[in-house]
């Protein structure tokens, strides 16, 4: 049904989708953390309360694991897809979904600038993918 290259593109696309859909939820359930670094304390004393808070938040952990599943799929896809295609392809899907889903979640109206920006990103990635596939 799929050849190796098509299977790699499918895995890369799935990883971008998982990243793009989980990122807005991770941001929402992180509690909008403020990273206050105090110079008098070591880094562990600054980071430990944040790790403790996030690890006790089951909603954040759920979307974190979905995000990491995307990373596993992406790593596996690199055995089928050239890295110079996989990186921009997955990142463009991720960016597109984060922008669209973020606008939907934050009740932001999708204006012409957003649509033009997404169109340019998708067009650029398509051109990169076509030039590398020949």
What are the tens digits of pLDDT across the range 54-96? 788 888 899 999 999 999 999 999 998 888 888 888 888 898 8
The DSSP letter of residue 38 is: -
pTM for the predicted model, two decimal places: 0.77
Instruction: Return d(Cα 87, Cα 131) in angstroms, integer.
Output: 15
Residue 93: CB atoms within 10 Å: 22
Q: Are 90 and 15 in contact (CB under 8 A)?
A: yes
pLDDT at 71: 95
Beta-strand ranges (E) seen in 8-134 are: none
Q: What is the pLDDT of residue 74?
A: 95
**Domain extent for 76:** 4-133
pLDDT at 11 over 60: yes
Rounded Cα distance between 57 and 9, Å, is 33
Closest by CA to 95, choosing from 125, 59, 65, is 125
Q: What's the pLDDT at 67?
A: 95
Q: What is the total count of domains within the chain?
A: 1
- Structure confidence at residue 133 (pLDDT): 60
Q: What confidence tens digit (pLDDT) does each residue in 84-127 have?
A: 888 888 888 898 898 888 888 888 888 999 899 889 988 887 78
* Most confident by average pLDDT, 6-10, 27-31, 45-49, 66-70: 66-70
């Amino acid at each position: 049904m799929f050849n190796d290259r098509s299977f790699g593109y499918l895995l890369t696309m799935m990883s971008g989708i998982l990243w793009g859909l989980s990122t807005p939820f991770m941001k929402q359930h992180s509690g909008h953390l403020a990273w206050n670094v105090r110079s008098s304390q070591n880094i562990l004393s600054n980071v430990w309360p944040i790790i403790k808070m996030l690890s006790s938040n089951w909603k954040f952990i759920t979307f974190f694991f979905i995000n990491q599943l995307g990373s596993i799929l992406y790593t596996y896809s690199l055995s089928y897809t050239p890295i110079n295609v996989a990186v921009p392809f997955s990142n463009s899907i991720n960016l597109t979904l984060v922008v669209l889903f973020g606008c939907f979640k934050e009740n932001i109206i999708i204006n012409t600038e957003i649509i033009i920006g997404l169109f340019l990103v998708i067009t650029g990635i398509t051109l990169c993918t076509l030039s590398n596939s020949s």
